[in-house]
A and B are shown apart, each in its own frame.
Chain A
């Protein structure tokens, strides 16, 4: 899938490679939402299953996942997201 055009009412989401099987290979997508929770819900609606691979059933960010809004690491899904922000879905190093 080619990169999606960015809308001026949406934030930009950078998708780590382990999650791109959900986005059809796209490394950047756009998403709606005023908080990280909203953004992830929008992503899951369009790319079913992607949220649960990052967020557990208690709404906790999984151990080897990191979420950033621009350069600010988010510790909770209530983190606000503004139009023109970039959300980074990062898979922390966990090799071996």
Chain B
């Protein structure tokens, strides 16, 4: 089966396509929406011809584009994600960027979720044409405290929207900064889920929320297994437990366990890849010592292995952002990442070796796999 990597960048979207029998040969197409800031391009697994794209420009407000023909043509949402009109005297929120897109449950064709900056959660019932506010979160009485507006350098984001494949009403979201939250009633009510996650940038590190998850993932075949790459380390949570376990401590001390992305093997819930970055001193957020490497665990975080064969050996100071790493659905998984310096790196052997699939692109915000 052929496959595509959709690349969202600061200056438009691109597609890297490969034929099934030539897994290492990529053909670049695009740009799509040149000049637009593209935070996410996501395929609908229920209708693989459908893609949604989160877009804005430096001047123009946020929107969502939809393709029903695998990216050949796009149509803008009639009603993009937006907060409700504020009542008099109430703080007035406006979506600055649609940051994250997640298809809804397999049983709910056409349903999608979107996360925004500032932190907001939105849902579409019609394949992304019209969006409405998830008021259970956006108007939750605790929302002003949960997302207090301590924006990260790129803003306050709602991301990592996870839909339990066993139960469409069971949802997780994460906010940078704010923490991770869970709903068991389809988004009507939410509660924090941050126990034992460090928040050493706050005066009270034992707070129930206010954390900075960078990326959270749920294994599709073992939905009780969650991982998160946090501002303060790498964690695993096995539900119904509520206490996160810091598994990043097993990484070499000189590497640390700070980074943005974390991605999972499609069939093995114990295998995850991360891309550590420099989180020391003033937080350069670059490859550590200019020597980029992914790390993989195959035992749920007990041990980690460095994966840098084929990557630059030195003087490579890029960052891999939270949406810019993914895997494909192959039994021997392909692993892919895009860099802030505009390169796409691909591995067809689970990270044992890497090859550059594209370079000289704009700053890469997201890399997602589509069939």
A→B interface (CB under 8 Å): 16, 18-19, 48-49, 52-60, 62, 64-65, 91-92, 94-96
Per-residue interface assignment for chain B, residues 57 to 85, with 1 indicating a CB less than 8 Å from any chain A CB and 0 otherwise: 11111010000000000001110101111
Chain B: minimal CB distance from A21 (Å): 9
Contacts of A48 in B (CB 8 A): 76, 78
Residue of B57, B63, B83, B93 near A49 (CB, 8 A) is B63
Per-residue interface assignment for chain B, residues 112 to 142, with 1 indicating a CB less than 8 Å from any chain A CB and 0 otherwise: 0000000000000000000000000000000
A53 near B92: Cβ-Cβ < 8 Å:
no
Residue of A19, A52, A58 near B80 (CB, 8 A) is A52
A58 near B94: Cβ-Cβ < 8 Å:
yes
A56 near B59: Cβ-Cβ < 8 Å:
no
Residue of B57, B78, B86 near A58 (CB, 8 A) is B86
A62 near B92: Cβ-Cβ < 8 Å:
no
Measured in the bound complex, the distance between the Cα atoms of B93 and A56 in whole Å is: 9
Residue of A53, A92, A94 near B61 (CB, 8 A) is A53
Residue of A16, A49, A57, A64 near B58 (CB, 8 A) is A64
5 contacts between A and B (CB under 8 A): A19-B60, A49-B80, A52-B80, A56-B61, A59-B85
Measured in the bound complex, the distance between the Cα atoms of B61 and A58 in whole Å is: 13
Residue B106 at the A interface, CB < 8 A?
no
Chain A: minimal CB distance from B32 (Å): 13
Contacts of A65 in B (CB 8 A): 59-60
Contacts of A54 in B (CB 8 A): 60-61
B59 near A52: Cβ-Cβ < 8 Å:
no
With contacts A48-B78, A49-B78 taken as known, whether A58 is within 8 angstroms of B92 at the C-beta atoms is: yes
Number of residue pairs spanning A and B whose beta carbons lie under 8 angstroms apart: 56
Chain A: minimal CB distance from B84 (Å): 7
B→A interface (CB under 8 Å): 35, 57-61, 63, 76-78, 80, 82-86, 92-95
Given contacts A58-B92, A59-B85, A95-B58, 13 further A-B contacts (CB under 8 A): A16-B59, A49-B63, A49-B78, A49-B80, A52-B82, A56-B61, A56-B94, A56-B95, A57-B85, A60-B94, A62-B59, A91-B60, A94-B59
Contacts of B85 in A (CB 8 A): 57-59
With contacts A49-B76, A94-B58 taken as known, whether A57 is within 8 angstroms of B82 at the C-beta atoms is: yes
Chain B: minimal CB distance from A57 (Å): 4
What residue of chain B has the Cβ atom nearest to residue A91's Cβ? B59
Most chain-A Cβ atoms within 10 A of its Cβ — which of B63, B76, B86? Answer: B76
Measured in the bound complex, the distance between the Cα atoms of B93 and A60 in whole Å is: 10
A62 near B60: Cβ-Cβ < 8 Å:
yes
Measured in the bound complex, the distance between the Cα atoms of B61 and A91 in whole Å is: 11
What residue of chain B has the Cβ atom nearest to residue A60's Cβ? B94
Measured in the bound complex, the distance between the Cα atoms of B62 and A57 in whole Å is: 11
A92 near B59: Cβ-Cβ < 8 Å:
yes
Measured in the bound complex, the distance between the Cα atoms of B94 and A58 in whole Å is: 7
B61 near A52: Cβ-Cβ < 8 Å:
yes
Contacts of B82 in A (CB 8 A): 52, 56-57
B94 near A18: Cβ-Cβ < 8 Å:
no
Contacts of B61 in A (CB 8 A): 52-56, 62
With contacts A48-B78, A49-B76, A52-B82 taken as known, whether A57 is within 8 angstroms of B95 at the C-beta atoms is: yes
What residue of chain A has the Cβ atom nearest to residue B80's Cβ? A52
What residue of chain A has the Cβ atom nearest to residue B58's Cβ? A94
Contacts of A56 in B (CB 8 A): 61, 82, 94-95
